[in-house]
């Protein structure tokens, strides 16, 4: 049983793990437990997997009446999760973050079922911090996360999504499917799995200049933000070398064909670009716990694998300046790509499977 939800950063690692597990152990049966509202409602069924949902919500950091509702929903979810577990009878339960995995993994641990959590970030999320006291094994993707957990449970695996995209590195995807060309260098832009308003407005500002470049741009606004971007673009001409879409669902096919990525510095995106060696301009989200995306981005900048623009310095002009600097210099991009690849962990899914087997073995002792 696998549970992780809310945002793509928690869901794609889970799906990548499942895909690999089914390759090495084809008889494996998988049930995915998500929330009623998260992105998993779209992504998980699209991957051909069975999804059951629980109704959960996050705790507010300040004291609020809403927290009583959250507590009630959590206890109800634990109760419902126990029933799902009794019916499905998993050999092991994996949690990849998000509130829903809190309820599912807590329920599984209380029922003495082998449990593993995967933490994608350098700064540990609130759900995984809570769960770390109950689960058997903890897999991490950044060394910095180790000391934030009970150390005897921790194994470095990397992020399984890295293995999935690395396995697809020889992708034969053609940009003509998007109305673009296979002969031009390609810059891809997205603001995390849900889009980011400041990145979107900066791209809108830069589009009249992008139209004139000899490189091409594929830009995902985020599903929810597409209509607002379309409005902002009402009086802007969009050139043949620019494609604006709400979301890119087939990232493992497209990412190997990208010459420069402009994105947030979410943990899963970073795992992907370092697995493939994709040069990047990272614009960390300032709205995340302990400013962890800046730390994620700095690790790449320090190794010469990426450039960084801080959100308060981002506008159409600064974006264009950095984009031009890198898109016009293939040698520099190649160097960044090589530096990036050195940081990748292309066997992360196999390592995580090993940890899950370890959790099962621990229980058989």
Ligand X SMILES: CC(=O)N[C@H]1[C@@H](OP(=O)(O)OP(=O)(O)OC[C@H]2O[C@@H](n3ccc(=O)[nH]c3=O)[C@H](O)[C@@H]2O)O[C@H](CO)[C@@H](O)[C@@H]1O
- Residues annotated within the binding site for UDP-N-acetyl-alpha-D-glucosamine are 7-9, 121, 193, 248, 293
Least Å from the CB of residue 111 to ligand X: 26
Least Å from the CB of residue 141 to ligand X: 9
Which of 71, 84, 67, 121 is closest to 2 using CA atoms?
Answer: 84
Which residue of 77, 164, 186, 293 would you call a contact of ligand X, by CB under 6 A? 293
Least Å from the CB of residue 227 to ligand X: 16
Contact code string over 247-266 relative to ligand X, x by CB under 6 A:
xx--x------------x-x
Which residue of 38, 102, 192, 346 would you call a contact of ligand X, by CB under 6 A? 192
**Sites for ligand X among residues 201-230 (CB under 6 A):** 220
User: What sign has the CA pseudo-torsion 290, 296, 302, 307?
Assistant: negative
Least Å from the CB of residue 121 to ligand X: 5
Q: Tell whether residue 96 is a contact of ligand X (CB under 6 A).
A: no
Q: For ligand X, which is the closer residue by CB, 78 or 265?
A: 265
Which of 247, 241, 179 is closest to 206 using CA atoms?
Answer: 241
Q: For ligand X, which is the closer residue by CB, 72 or 197?
A: 197
Q: Where along the sequence are the contacts to ligand X (CB under 6 A)?
A: 7-10, 12, 97, 120-121, 161, 190, 192-194, 220, 247-248, 251, 264, 266-269, 272, 285, 288, 293
């Amino acid at each position: 049983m696998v549970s992780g939800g809310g945002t793509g950063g928690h869901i794609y690692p889970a799906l990548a793990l499942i895909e690999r597990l089914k390759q090495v152990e084809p008889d494996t049966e998988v049930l995915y437990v998500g929330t009623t509202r998260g992105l998993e409602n779209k992504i998980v069924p699209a991957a051909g997997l069975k999804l059951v949902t629980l109704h959960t919500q996050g705790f507010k950091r300040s004291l609020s009446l809403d927290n009583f509702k959250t507590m009630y929903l959590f206890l109800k979810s634990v109760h419902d999760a126990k029933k799902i577990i009794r019916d499905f009878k998993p050999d092991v339960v994996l949690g990849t973050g998000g509130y829903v995995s809190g309820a599912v993994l807590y329920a599984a641990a209380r029922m003495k079922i082998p449990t593993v959590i995967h933490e994608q970030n350098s700064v540990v999320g609130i759900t995984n911090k809570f769960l770390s006291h109950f689960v058997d094994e903890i897999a991490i993707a950044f060394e910095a996360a180790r000391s934030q957990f009970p150390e005897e449970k921790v194994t470095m695996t990397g992020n399984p999504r890295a293995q999935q995209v690395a396995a697809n590195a020889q992708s034969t995807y053609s940009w003509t499917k998007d109305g673009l060309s296979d002969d031009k260098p390609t810059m891809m832009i997205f603001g995390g799995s849900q889009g980011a308003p400041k990145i979107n407005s900066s791209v809108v500002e830069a589009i009249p200049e992008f139209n004139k470049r000899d490189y091409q741009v594929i830009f995902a606004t985020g599903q929810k933000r597409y209509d607002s971007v379309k409005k902002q673009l009402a009086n802007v001409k969009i050139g043949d070398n620019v494609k604006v879409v709400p979301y890119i669902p087939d990232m493992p096919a497209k990412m190997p064909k990208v010459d420069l990525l402009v994105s947030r510095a979410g943990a899963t995106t970073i795992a992907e670009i370092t697995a493939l060696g994709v040069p990047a301009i990272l614009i960390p989200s300032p709205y995340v716990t302990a400013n962890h995306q800046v730390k994620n981005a700095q690790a790449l900048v320090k190794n010469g694998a990426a450039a960084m623009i801080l959100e308060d310095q981002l506008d159409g002009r600064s974006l264009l300046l950095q984009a031009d600097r890198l898109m016009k210099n293939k040698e520099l991009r190649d160097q960044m790509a090589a530096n990036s690849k050195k940081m990748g962990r292309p066997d992360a899914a196999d390592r995580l499977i090993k940890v899950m087997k370890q959790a099962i073995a621990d229980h058989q002792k």
